[in-house]
Structure 1
């Protein structure tokens, strides 16, 4: 399990699940030689990204991690 919590949010899971369904739909219709169904699957893949982004903006995603200050910027005690 990741210590950063990357992707363990409702927004991430929802976006990935919708995109995965779109991938499966596009793949199935590509094998069936159905152009309309293929493009419907591609639209679902994009919809998954949009839904995940909207959910993140609504507060269902993880907060961006603030990195610690660089070591060089931290005051060092001077020896003398």
Structure 2
């Protein structure tokens, strides 16, 4: 394989923090809703967003050269 689109560990840290906040907020909404936990989830998402900005998550993508796939001729019988 020529390259990777996986990203760096620092970018994954930001993604994991955002997913944890989303999960916490979603579970808190199902439990009542429990508003303090919902807002804690929102805060965690905001912290993850700040981490993403600090580590410059959008410049972490490695773009490979496009793949060229050949089309095969399909013989269809009518």
| TM exceeding 0.5 | yes
CA RMSD of aligned residues (A): 2.8
Runs of 4+ aligned residues of structure 1 deviating over 2 Å after TM superposition are: 61-65
What is the CA-CA distance between 1:63 and the residue it aligns to? 8.2
**5+ residue gaps, structure 1:** 66-80
So what's the TM-score if we normalise by structure 2?
0.61
Aligned residue pair count? 61
**5+ residue gaps, structure 2:** 64-78
Alignment of 1:10-25 (within 5 A): 10-25=9-24
C-alpha deviations, 1:18-64, integer Å up to 9, x for none? 0000001000100111011001101101110101222339xxx6389
So what's the TM-score if we normalise by structure 1?
0.59
